Amino acid sequence: MTSSPPDDALALYIHWPFCVSKCPYCDFNSHVRETVDQAAWRAALLKDLAYEAEQLPGRRLTSIFFGGGTPSLMPPETVAALIDAAARHWDVADDIEITLEANPSSVEAARFGDLARAGVNRVSLGLQALDDAALAYLGRAHDVREGLGALDTAQAAFARVSFDLIYARPGQSPEAWRAELAQALSFGTEHLSLYQLTIEPGTQFAARYAKGELSTLDPDLAADLFEQTRADTAAAGLPAYEISNHARPGAESRHNLTYWRYGSYAGIGPGAHGRRGGMATVRRKKPENWLTRVDANGHGIEQEDLLSPASRAQEALLMGLRLREGIDMDRVAATSGLPIVQLIDEAAVDRLTRQRLLTRDGANLRITEAGMLLLDAILGDIVTA
């Protein structure tokens, strides 16, 4: 059964764009700077937040997510100031989820206690691998020992902990991944984000791949690892609730569920996206340009576009069908104003249902476990909006 966010519910995303170094696989809006004027950045983020709050009065804040970049490089005082300001702008849910992405360096882990006191109650730790050679290949600055030390610190400081791993790395065997995943599951965290390594345009890995200096895992083997991952996490009590995210029941990322269920969210900071009232907002991407825009206009918005009904429907479908719970077609139709017949290709849905790649139960449309392996192809077949 799918769930719908309450009409007044709002999620807040805050982007911190700075990193110590740029990982070769990363296509996020992250930048390396020798120095950062922390006072100027705190003031600009607070100003960008205040502008967004003016556009969204009367909302109830259900989650805050500090993403990046590397938000664990933010001074805890800045994190606290943003959380406090958000609570002044909006009513806050009693069980608000406040997540911060963190790198597992010992320097950043030393701030975890201060970040918890600032109001953060959930951390997402970028371990990425539990193998030193793999970490070096991925360009990570930490080793396994430092990463596991940071995980211990995080579990002591925060009530809720998740961490990321990248698998389907070149040369990785099913046996090696099964052992690494078993070790990951043994740490007792409530949530895991498990991503297959992909070559993203514009990254260092993409340049090396184009030169023939980097290989990728055989697609059939990668598919085997995907199925193995879902089976092993389910057996351990952390089933996949989204294509790459696994959690104990009730421990799903509430913030990310807002995206996937096509709820309302505000996005502030360089390159941040938002969705409010059918409006798509995009902040300026380069940090310095964003700062200039905030100083001149009181906000960092570069684009603000009213989405067409077809665009809203397509986004809702593409996001919602990533979820194990599927999507409520009646809600998509009501939200977009388009009849279901204009949203999906009924013939394709019937064919994929016969192939047991989709299920349809009344208004609920859901991709099956077997279908998740073919998610992108299925979405291309059925989504017409």
Domain end call among 260, 291, 319: 260
Joined together, the tokens standing for residue 12 give: 């807040």
pTM for this entry: 0.95
Residue 234 domain-assigned (yes or no): yes
Residue 270 domain-assigned (yes or no): no
Domain end call among 201, 226, 260: 260
Virtual CA dihedral for 151, 287, 194, 187, nearest 10 degrees?
10
d(CA 80, CA 130): 32
pLDDT, average across residues 105-130? 93
For residues 35 and 156, membership in a common domain is answered with: yes
d(CA 96, CA 235): 29
Q: 244 CB contacts (<8 Å, ≥6 apart)?
A: 193, 194, 195, 196
d(CA 144, CA 100): 21
Contact 128, 193 (CB under 8 A): no
pLDDT, average across residues 112-128? 97
Contact 232, 174 (CB under 8 A): no
Could you give the 3-state DSSP secondary structure of residue 128? strand
Q: For 198-243, how does the pLDDT look when each residue is reduced to its tens digit (9 = 90+)?
A: 999 999 999 998 998 988 899 999 999 999 999 999 999 999 999 9
For residues 335 and 251, membership in a common domain is answered with: no
Going along the chain, which residue ranges are E strands?
9-16, 60-68, 91-102, 122-128, 160-167, 191-196, 240-242, 245-247, 265-268, 273-276, 279-283, 301-306, 327-328, 358-361, 364-367
C-alpha distances in Å from residue 136, one per residue of 7, 18, 65, 139, 385: 46, 21, 28, 5, 43
C-alpha distances in Å from residue 358, one per residue of 180, 234, 346, 349: 31, 20, 12, 7
For residues 200 and 322, membership in a common domain is answered with: no
Q: For 42-95, how does the pLDDT look when each residue is reduced to its tens digit (9 = 90+)?
A: 999 999 999 999 999 999 999 999 999 999 999 999 999 999 999 999 999 999
Domain region containing 352: 309-382
> In 10 A of CB 211, how many CB atoms?
8
- Positive/negative CA dihedral, 10, 15, 16, 20: positive
For residues 251 and 115, membership in a common domain is answered with: yes
pLDDT at position 15 over 80: yes
Residue 272 domain-assigned (yes or no): no
Q: What are phi and psi of 211, to 5 degrees?
A: -85, 0
Range in 103-112, 166-175, 222-231 the model is least confident about: 103-112
> In 10 A of CB 239, how many CB atoms?
16
- Positive/negative CA dihedral, 64, 68, 72, 75: negative
For residues 210 and 315, membership in a common domain is answered with: no
**Region of 286 on the Ramachandran plot (φ > 0 left; ψ -120 to 50 alpha; else beta):** beta
